[in-house]
Structure 1
């Protein structure tokens, strides 16, 4: 099969490539995303296959393989002109060979009772990040209806733009910022321990935290970050905190519909008096977060590799795009903490993922000595208490 030439990677793709290069072989599967998409009643398997094939025609990342280079930062992406959709079932633990075929596969699962087919999709994070998988699902349903979505931007166009003379100053500034913030917080010796995972089902409705953020004059991610900082200072006794947030790098309208890996980790430094008023702290966190996100695109091979034991890590999952049209619950629910099975040992040793819709859920993963179930439960309870207090004070 002929290809359309090779191209450099975006900085987001490069970040994922660098992370993979130091990961043990048995952990390579941990970058696989396991998705389930619904289909309307009456949909046939052939219609699903046609829509998935059209999806691969539309988005180049679903037709891309990756070629290593002697210089690790010189890896290339090769875009295949024709779609290769593998419809055979696979396990999420099966690693993709990124040089062999596009890093995704999909198959149709029809219930035994003959109900509506569901689509299972396995896709590697280098081909699609969290925002991109939502775009893929939306486009899949549009294609299934027979609609024709607008043309999509391509990773290779973004990669070329990120290597332009105009963009170079931005990369340099982002690298300088990252080095300065990381150096400002001394490393605390950390030894890794067994993984503990838990999810705090806070019972706090989406609308309540959205309105609280508006009342404080900050974004919803900032509110969650502020409460995260408060919980860290309360439980560790350290007033200064190095936080790493996952940046979607989609503030530029030209890349908001891009299907690729755009995300990169960016650091921020926050000092906090846990007994102080929330509003000024939230404003400080908002400024620090905005400054960090302005430096979200950087060359991962021009800076030191991320030390996943230095600081703590945070990811915010926004409400779906159609949340405003979907009546969200307004009444609180009972809170509870659910301990989860260990998964994905690579990456950060202290990590919280915050989801907000329809209720706030806080999923915590820790692999540090001194953090067992009691400590994890205390942290999640502290963070939930602080968020509840913020919501009540704003009401």
Structure 2
């Protein structure tokens, strides 16, 4: 039997752990990610269990425990000893029913310091296996890793064969910690960047009520792609540019610092790595209202690309260096505006969903974290999701923001605005008012 092996954390794992350190003892479940994997018709409980066991054997992140007590936390990979899964009865053979179960589990803390970073069971309905219901901690996976798990599980339960074993988090950790020149260059880059951040976007401590809304638009995606092709820039930078213009308009500003989420998978060696590699890559966006939109978007694209290329760094090392230089706010996680591009994962809303023609409101907005958290995904259409606080935007402006981003993208694609200040931000669709808050009063702006 192979022996357990211990190593430092990867920079991505360390960022997740330090984010958890900011949470209270009752908020340690915040890093849990619900994951539902489809079980094909005719596949039994044993076959679904065997497929998950193969993934646990294949990916060390699924059998790793983490020691956060030392100044430099460590990860220990446990030998594979097989997997046994229970079954959970689902009220219906649907993905929604499985997600409800996973969502309930996600509210419970995973003891990743003594066991491992996941919980799973085979979901059955009337004796038939329909889904693998999982919760996996963010220390082990990010969005790209969840997609990898889905693809590999689908291959296994369909009788397919996986590619050779992938690289492991320990491999990445040893490379990151051993390359002192790269570490130093990246830290120096961020030390210089910190001077240009907008202090208003680094306040923290906003405890006002959060509101969450979403919008789905095929028209907006077509527009974003048209601008992307015309200017030879990324789709996500076009969406970010439109979002920045709307934010400037609503807040009466011309600069903002966004915490971009770096996926850190541009190096092909790590694209099949099951781990959490996301880190913040902060960037200040400024808009000259008299500049041409093409100039604004090309500059934003180049600036964001440079920062994303520097998105892998030791958060502890950066904090220590910022403190040494006398930075007033040396916390590398303290940003109020987040922008997270999730990739081509968007699917059309269900029939009858408000998001088809209106803005869809959600009652379950997490009441912590950044004051402004915008997520964007492409696919069959552009899906935008925004969580914003009362003090930062207010409920009504949260919904209007999304509709205005859609309008800005359409206007940019039409090529009509000659200047940034002339981009039309007037919503093209109906924006319903926010729902009443829990105390019965309508949320205010």
Structure 2 residue 316 is matched with structure 1 residue 318: no
Q: Number of matched residues?
A: 380
Once residues 64 and 12 of structure 1 are traced to their aligned partners in structure 2, the CA distance between those partners, rounded to angstroms, is 15
Does the aligned pair in 1 maintain the 2:62–2:116 contact within 8 Å?
A: yes
Distance 1:2 1:115, change over 3 A: closer
Structure 1 residues 156 and 108, CA gap change in structure 2 (3 angstroms): same
Q: In the alignment, what sits opposite 1:75?
A: 73
Match in the other structure for 1:108: 122
Cα deviation, 1:112-141, whole Å, max 9, x if unaligned, reads 3x5551111110000111100111111111
Distance 1:106 1:77 in 2: 21
Query: Mind listing any 5+ residue stretches in structure 2 that lack a counterpart?
Result: 89-103, 320-329, 348-354, 417-445
Deviations 1:164-204 (A, max 9, x none): 1xx22222222232233233134125643111111123343
Contact residue 205 and residue 357 of structure 1 kept, 8 A: no
Q: CA deviation at 1:274?
A: 4.6
CA distance in 1, matches of 2:228, 2:14: 34
Q: Following the alignment from structure 1 to structure 2, what is the Cα–Cα distance between the partners of residues 309 and 275?
A: 32
What is the rounded CA distance, in whole Å, between the counterparts of 2:26 and 2:187 in structure 1? Answer: 31
**Counterpart in the other structure of 2:194:** 182
Please say if residues 28 and 109 of structure 2, whose CA atoms lie closer than 8 Å, have aligned partners that are also in contact: yes
Do the aligned residues in 2 keep the contact of 1:195 with 1:342 (CA within 8 Å)?
A: no
Runs of 4+ in 1 over 6 A off after TM superposition: none
Residue by residue over 1:80-128, the C-alpha shift from the partner in whole angstroms, topping out at 9 and shown as x without a partner, is 111464634671101111111111121111223x555111111000011
Per the TM alignment, residue 346 of structure 1 is displaced from its structure 2 partner at its CA by 3.9
User: Do structure 1's residue 357 and structure 2's residue 371 form an aligned pair?
Assistant: no
Query: Residue by residue, what CA displacement relative to the aligned partner does 1:366-388 show, whole Å, maximum 9, x if unpaired?
Result: 13515321121232222121012
Work out which structure has the larger RCO, using CA pairs closer than 8 Å and 6 or more positions apart in sequence.
Answer: 1
Give 2:250's aligned residue: 235
In structure 1, the residue matched to 2:237 is 222
Residue 256 of structure 1 aligns with which residue?
271
Q: 1:85 to 1:265 in 2, by over 3 A?
A: farther
The answer as to 2:111 corresponding to 1:97 is yes
What is the TM-score normalised by the length of structure 2? 0.79
- The 1:308–1:364 alpha-carbon spacing in structure 2 relative to 1, beyond 3 Å, is farther
The root-mean-square deviation of aligned C-alpha atoms, in Å, is 2.5
Q: TM-score, normalization: structure 1? A: 0.89
Counterpart for residue 52 of structure 1: 52
Name the CA shift for 1:48/1:205 in 2 (closer, same or farther; >3 Å). Answer: farther
Unaligned runs of 5+ in 1: 324-332
